[in-house]
Amino acid sequence: MTHERPETPADTRLLDRFKQDFRHVGDDFRQKGWQGTAGRTLTELEAFYLSTHAKQRLSEMHVIKRWAVLLWWLLKSLLLKLTPARRVMLAISLVLLVSGIQTVSFEAGAVSFRFPLIGTLLLLLVLMLELKDKLLARDELEAGRKVQLALMPDRSPSVPGWEAWLFTRPANDVGGDLVDFLRVDANRYAVSLGDVAGKALPAALLMAKLQSTLRALVPQFTRLSDLGSAVNRILCRDGLPNRFATLAYLEVTARDGAIRILNAGHMPPLVIRGRQIEELPPGSMALGIVADTAFTEQRADLAEGDCLFVYSDGITEAMNTAGDFFGDERLRSLLHDCAGRPAAETGSRVLAAVESFVGGARPHDDISMVVLRRTR
């Protein structure tokens, strides 16, 4: 009689996870086919490991040579990104696996070395060390993401006489877009949409600096031009080289249709008046570049039913699998059809259109929107 070892809870969880993984991979293959899945994987590897110049050189090669060179460049780049000890271990493991030598025995000591087994163990060890680093980094990024979410305002804050809808979603675990809401006093309300150059953790840290600076300075200034100068001086003093931020800062007054705007290098907001789309004038220079930059205050007057739409370039530069951008024309056509709709519906329709356009492509940039609609 044979006795089977009963499954432990850990075994059951692992088996269940494998079943879920196989179903997930199977669904992915059914939706995209093996060519689509493999193509996306290869595209992500090229984007991470190869420079723009290297990808340009590959495009000029014959198909057979291109594949051979691509595999070599990916391997070389992988080796160069490892630590010295892991690079040596991976190189040894690859040599042992491809050498063709199976076993080396030493009769006197009755010792034998199985090269494929040793190579596999070394490869597994490198994988475990890299996975350990990735999991530690992921935990830190997840903690940072929770902090960012905690600093986010309500998606639909209450402003008398207005509908407001705010949205931001990072391309990675943490993002460099700022969307914030602040009640300045009994009648003044401030909404900010900023876009820090770059993505991921460095941009997120500068975004937090911009948010805290704005929140500290806004109550001290009534002129938005002075506010822009003060924020800019701080970012120039405390910022990093080649790091800057664009900002669209809006102030509205309860039950008043006037919006005061500070535009520091950001894309001009769009005003939806009936079925007309009006682009506001360009703003001043971005924050954190030149310390003595002068800023100007703009103004937009909205009648009942008019809407102000502010967005980051992650909307218009959203890219699909074919490499096409969502673009300004699609956005304006969509906003044209949103005339008279509530702020939340307008924002949701834009977001759904961008997601449908991108499809299965990896997010290219953070996506942020602010929609303000005058109600009375």
Instruction: Give Rg (Cα) of the chain.
Output: 27
pLDDT block averages, 10 residues each, the chain of length 376: 46 72 75 68 78 85 87 86 88 83 60 75 89 78 68 84 92 81 91 86 82 92 94 86 89 90 95 90 92 93 94 92 89 90 94 90 87 91
3-state secondary structure the chain: CCCCCCCCHHHHHHHHHHHHHHHHHHHHHHHHHHHHHHHHHHHHHHHHHCCHHHHHHHHCCCHHHHHHHHHHHHHHHHHHHCCHHHHHHHHHHHHHHHCCCCEEEECCCCEEEEHHHHHHHHHHHHHHHHHHHHHHHHHHHHHHHHHHHHHCCCCCCCECCEEEEEEEECCCCCCCEEEEEEECCCCEEEEEEEEECCCHHHHHHHHHHHHHHHHHHHHHCCCHHHHHHHHHHHHHHHCCCCCCEEEEEEEEECCCCEEEEEEEECCCCEEEECCEEEECCCCECCECCCCCCCCCEEEEECCCCCEEEEECHHHHCCECCCCCECHHHHHHHHHHHCCCCCHHHHHHHHHHHHHHHHCCCCCCCCEEEEEEEECC
Residue spans of the domains in the chain: they are 32-145, 153-374
* Nearest of 190, 151, 293, 283 to residue 235 by alpha carbon: 293
Q: How far apart are CA 203 and CA 147, in angstroms?
A: 14
Would you say 310 and 369 are in contact if contact means Cβ atoms under 8 Å apart? yes
- What is the reported pLDDT for 296? 94
Interhelix angle for 84-98 vs 115-151, to 10°?
Answer: 140
- What is the reported pLDDT for 3? 45
Bridge-partner residues for 325, per DSSP? 319
Phi, psi of 106 (to 5 degrees): -120, 105
Please name the residues in contact with 97: beta carbons below 8 A apart, sequence gap of 6 or more: 115, 116, 119, 120, 123
3-state secondary structure 156-220: CCCECCEEEEEEEECCCCCCCEEEEEEECCCCEEEEEEEEECCCHHHHHHHHHHHHHHHHHHHHH
Would you say 270 and 335 are in contact if contact means Cβ atoms under 8 Å apart? yes
- What is the reported pLDDT for 141? 67
Please name the residues in contact with 314: beta carbons below 8 A apart, sequence gap of 6 or more: 171, 177, 364, 365, 366, 367, 368
Strands 258-264 and 177-183: unpaired
- What is the reported pLDDT for 14? 73
> Looking at the domain that runs over 153-374, which CATH code has it been given?
3.60.40.10
Contacts 24+ apart (CB under 8 A), 1-6: none
- What is the reported pLDDT for 343? 94
Would you say 166 and 181 are in contact if contact means Cβ atoms under 8 Å apart? yes
- Count Cβ atoms below 10 Å from residue 151 Cβ, excluding itself: 15
State the residue for tokens 């699909």.
320
- What is the reported pLDDT for 8? 47
State the residue for tokens 């953070």.
366
